[in-house]
Amino acid sequence: MGSFFVCKNCGNSDARYIGIRNGIKYCRRCLEFSGKKVKYKINKPINISPLLNYELTNEQKEISIKITKNFINKKNTLIYAVCGAGKTELVYDVISYALKKGLQIGFTIPRREVVIELAHRIKSTFPKAKVISVYGEQTDILEGNIIVLTTHQLFRYRNFFDLLIFDEIDAFPYKGNELLNIMFEKSIRGNYVIMSATPSKELINKIKKNGLVLTLFVRFHFQEIPVPKIYYGLIILKFIITLYRTRKYIKNHKPVLIFAPTIGIATNLFKILSKFIKNGGLVHSKVKNNSTIINDFKNTKLKYLVTTSVLERGITIKGLQVIIFNADHDIYNKETLVQIAGRVGRKKDEPTGDITYLITRITPAILASINDIKEKNEYLHSMYEGN
Amino acid sequence: MNICTLCMKEIKSITFATYLLENPICNKCLKELNPRFEKIKINEIEGEAIYEYNDLIKTTLYRFKGLYDIVLAPVFINRFAFYLKLKYRGYIILPAPSFLESDKERGFNHVVDIFKILNMPVLQAFYKKTSYKQSSLPSKEREKVKDKIGIKIDLNLKGKKVLLVDDLLTTGSTIKTLIKLIKPYEPKSIKVLVMAHTTLKNN
């Protein structure tokens, strides 16, 4: 008794998470978040504006300025924008403001693959700044002008970021992880900008109280977001449709992504599909050379990919077509379906594409996702009518 | 409500074991650990491996050995402790050696602690002459392990039953060396028990 213990790292005092090592208590809950930590210091100011080889749309410019103003006023921002709206470009303005002041800038995303890609993108936009990426396998360099990191690495930066940009807050593994949420809140010194295409109502209400919610429901090329088409059928019919459609798309030189709900289904589907159509690939979390397969797909070496929801976010490919096999599966909620549908038509030269749901029953998530996309499209029409 | 020692989520489906064991794990984690009790044979000596090496064992061992999470020590075998105690009644546990310095830094010896829950007599007969990490060596180098392990001289094992234990078995060179070292002491029987069997490929 009287041995009350509170973890300094995560604030845990639940006895079930506490272990004793050689007579000394330690917290088991945040044990994996132990390692080198970084102390706050002010960076050298860098005076650069973002280097872009394309022009931002008026909407994007307007929102960028609003974000910067909001940041100067020391308030938090939530950017609620549709998939393919060009969210990343929106924060370039506020990043260059923070660079000029020498503030500590962080850009965090739950997924490792996206961190690597994003760091390249930001580096090419701010070539003079020192852009570093921090994730599980890369933790040697921890300091720079712009730190791109996974949410799992936030624990290294306690009370550190003057500006923290958080993309895809509703993605796994951050979503529903209480501990990562604590680490996120503890790493902020100044203010944050959250970006999402599918924010929860609680999040919107939370930011509204003490910050600003900005919406961008139009894609930067001002085209409608393709609405998914539903096909009913039993397993064999679903497979025949998949086969037929994939063949058709490949004939028209369009890359195809086929989503399957589980690793097992994805593996089996690929096994059968690859007997009919060559040049395919299989990607899921247990495949080791994931990134090379995805790269082959981007370079059109591979014509189609069978995948699980690992590729639901952060992938942009010209002319992509999407088929969701068993879209009525329980793992597909509204957010996931909206994200997957948002993969299509993201490039200016090819703003359209097909999204096919193959189902045997209709679920609330399917209806909700279609309604969500239609709503955003209506917004686009109303904007034109307003003009 | 109890929490699973491995995934730290609340255990929803309560079984007999979750009541009886001190550090219970949930059914999902148990299924993922996948105990198989695979029979192995090394230099004519019989033995068994409880698990086949997999991702969960890898991460758990890392937490235990690398992050010093000592609570994890019994979770690997506490479910089978009763069975193992019966099977190896009368045996003396001889754990595979680990370097003294790293034990000091850690504050515990991981092999001893994994098998501590069996409540069997433990004799730390072997020691490492130099610090090396078996897992960091290529398979050819692993053969040289016999020069790096020593045995305490004043052992009285004649007519006794010994159980050689280790956490991981890969090429078997460590266990082979232990067998070679222990044979001159003429124990009545030698058996091998390892926590997980790995192949170099998935290491």
Looking at A150, A181, A216, the residue that finishes a domain is: A216
Of the candidates A17, A20, A32, the beta carbon closest to that of B67 is on A32
CB contact under 8 A, A19 and B70: yes
Amino acid occupying residue A168: E
Residue A347: helix, strand or coil by DSSP?
Answer: coil
Determine contact: B123 vs chain A, CB below 8 A: no
In the predicted model, is pLDDT for residue A278 greater than 80? Answer: yes
Residues of chain A contacting B70 with CB distance shorter than 8 Å: 19-21
| Dist CA A106 CA A91 (whole Å) | 12
Q: In this structure, is residue A164 part of a structural domain?
A: yes
Which residues form the domain of A85? Answer: 58-216
CB contact under 8 A, A31 and B69: yes
| Domain match, A275 and A305 both | yes
Residue B201 confidence (pLDDT): 56
| Domain match, A369 and A300 both | yes
- Assign residue A290 a region: left if phi > 0, alpha if psi is -120 to 50, beta otherwise? alpha
CA distance B107 to chain A (A): 7
- Decide which of A330 and B103 is more confident: A330
Residue B108 confidence (pLDDT): 85
Cβ atoms < 10 Å from Cβ of A41 = 9
| Domain match, A237 and A198 both | no
Looking at A216, A245, A278, the residue that finishes a domain is: A216
In the predicted model, is pLDDT for residue B137 greater than 80? Answer: no
Whichever domain contains A368, its CATH number is: 3.40.50.300
- For A18, the closest chain B residue by CA position comes to B71
Question: B82, B42 in Cβ contact below 8 A?
Answer: no
- For A33, the closest chain B residue by CA position comes to B67
In the predicted model, is pLDDT for residue A1 greater than 50? Answer: no
Number of domains in chain A: 3
> Which among A5, A11, A56 has a CA at the least distance from the CA of A181?
A11
Determine contact: B68 vs chain A, CB below 8 A: yes
| Domain match, A108 and A157 both | yes
Q: What is the mean pLDDT of chain A?
A: 88
| pLDDT mean over A75-96 | 89
| Domain match, A93 and A194 both | yes
Per residue in A238-269, pLDDT (tens digit) is: 999 999 999 999 999 999 999 999 999 999 99
CB contact under 8 A, A31 and B71: no
| Dist CA A74 CA A163 (whole Å) | 10
| pLDDT mean over B79-90 | 91
The beta strand positions in B67-170, using DSSP E, are: 91-95, 126-128, 149-151, 161-169
In degrees and rounded to multiples of 5, residue A140 shows phi and psi of: -75, -50
In the predicted model, is pLDDT for residue A304 greater than 70? Answer: yes
| pLDDT mean over B66-72 | 87
Determine contact: B54 vs chain A, CB below 8 A: no
| Domain match, A168 and A297 both | no
CA distance A289 to chain B (A): 14
- Decide which of A292 and B133 is more confident: A292
Q: Please give the share of chain A, as a percent, with pLDDT higher than 90.
A: 44
Determine contact: B23 vs chain A, CB below 8 A: no
Cβ atoms < 10 Å from Cβ of B111 = 24
Question: A350, A318 in Cβ contact below 8 A?
Answer: yes
Determine contact: B10 vs chain A, CB below 8 A: no
Q: In this structure, is residue A104 part of a structural domain?
A: yes
| pLDDT mean over A369-387 | 82
Residues of chain A contacting B7 with CB distance shorter than 8 Å: none
Determine contact: A29 vs chain B, CB below 8 A: yes
Residue A174 confidence (pLDDT): 86
Q: Concatenate the DSSP letters of all residues of A14-81 into one string.
A: -GGGEEEETTEEEESTTTTS-S------PPPP-------SSPPPHHHHHHHHHHHHHHHTT-EEEEEE
Question: A351, A192 in Cβ contact below 8 A?
Answer: no
| pLDDT mean over A281-292 | 85
Residue A162: helix, strand or coil by DSSP?
Answer: strand
Residue A386 confidence (pLDDT): 54
Per residue in A334-345, pLDDT (tens digit) is: 888 998 998 898
Determine contact: B69 vs chain A, CB below 8 A: yes
Q: In this structure, is residue A45 part of a structural domain?
A: no
A190-194, A232-236, A312-316, A351-355: range with highest mean pLDDT: A190-194
Q: Which two tokens stand for residue A360?
A: 């045997």
Q: In this structure, is residue A224 part of a structural domain?
A: no
In the predicted model, is pLDDT for residue A2 greater than 60? Answer: no
Looking at A157, A183, A216, the residue that finishes a domain is: A216
Q: In this structure, is residue A73 part of a structural domain?
A: yes
Question: B33, B40 in Cβ contact below 8 A?
Answer: no
Residues of chain A contacting B2 with CB distance shorter than 8 Å: 16
Residue A242: helix, strand or coil by DSSP?
Answer: helix
Query: Is residue B21 very low, low, confident or very high in pLDDT (cuts 50, 70, 90)?
Result: confident
Q: In this structure, is residue A36 part of a structural domain?
A: no
Residue A64 confidence (pLDDT): 93
| Domain match, A141 and A206 both | yes
| pLDDT mean over A219-224 | 85
Determine contact: A36 vs chain B, CB below 8 A: no
Residue A155: helix, strand or coil by DSSP?
Answer: helix
| Dist CA B190 CA B47 (whole Å) | 9
In degrees and rounded to multiples of 5, residue A374 shows phi and psi of: -65, -40
- For A19, the closest chain B residue by CA position comes to B71
Query: Is residue A3 very low, low, confident or very high in pLDDT (cuts 50, 70, 90)?
Result: low
Q: In this structure, is residue A125 part of a structural domain?
A: yes
CB contact under 8 A, B71 and A19: yes
CA distance A23 to chain B (A): 11
| Substitution target from A18, A30, A32, A263 for chain B, most B beta carbons within 10 A | A32
Angle at A186 between CA A181 and CA A192, to 5 degrees: 80
Query: Is residue A4 very low, low, confident or very high in pLDDT (cuts 50, 70, 90)?
Result: confident
Query: Is residue B202 very low, low, confident or very high in pLDDT (cuts 50, 70, 90)?
Result: very low
CA distance A28 to chain B (A): 7
| Domain match, A234 and A379 both | yes
| Domain match, A205 and A236 both | no
ipTM over 0.95: no
Determine contact: A15 vs chain B, CB below 8 A: no
CA dihedral over A214, A220, A224, A228, signed as positive or negative: negative
- Decide which of A4 and A118 is more confident: A118
Q: In this structure, is residue A44 part of a structural domain?
A: no
Per residue in B140-190, pLDDT (tens digit) is: 777 777 778 888 878 888 889 999 999 888 888 889 989 988 988 889 999
| Dist CA A360 CA A326 (whole Å) | 8
Q: What is the mean pLDDT of chain B?
A: 85
Q: State the residue for tokens 């491995």.
A: B6
Residue A276 confidence (pLDDT): 92
Residues of chain B contacting A16 with CB distance shorter than 8 Å: 2-3
Query: Is residue A165 very low, low, confident or very high in pLDDT (cuts 50, 70, 90)?
Result: very high
CB contact under 8 A, A34 and B67: yes
- What predicted TM-score, i.e. pTM, was given to this entire model? 0.77
Burial A47-84 (b: 16+ CB within 10 A, else e): eeebeeeeebbebbeebbebbbebbeeeebbbbbbbbb
DSSP letter at B8 equals -
CB contact under 8 A, A21 and B107: yes
| Domain match, A12 and A97 both | no
Per residue in A110-157, pLDDT (tens digit) is: 888 788 888 988 999 999 899 999 988 888 888 899 999 999 999 999
| Domain match, A26 and A63 both | no
| Domain match, A290 and A376 both | yes
Q: Concatenate the DSSP letters of all residues of A82-137 into one string.
A: -TTS-HHHHTHHHHHHHHHHT--EEEEES-HHHHHHHHHHHHHHSTTS-EEEEBTT
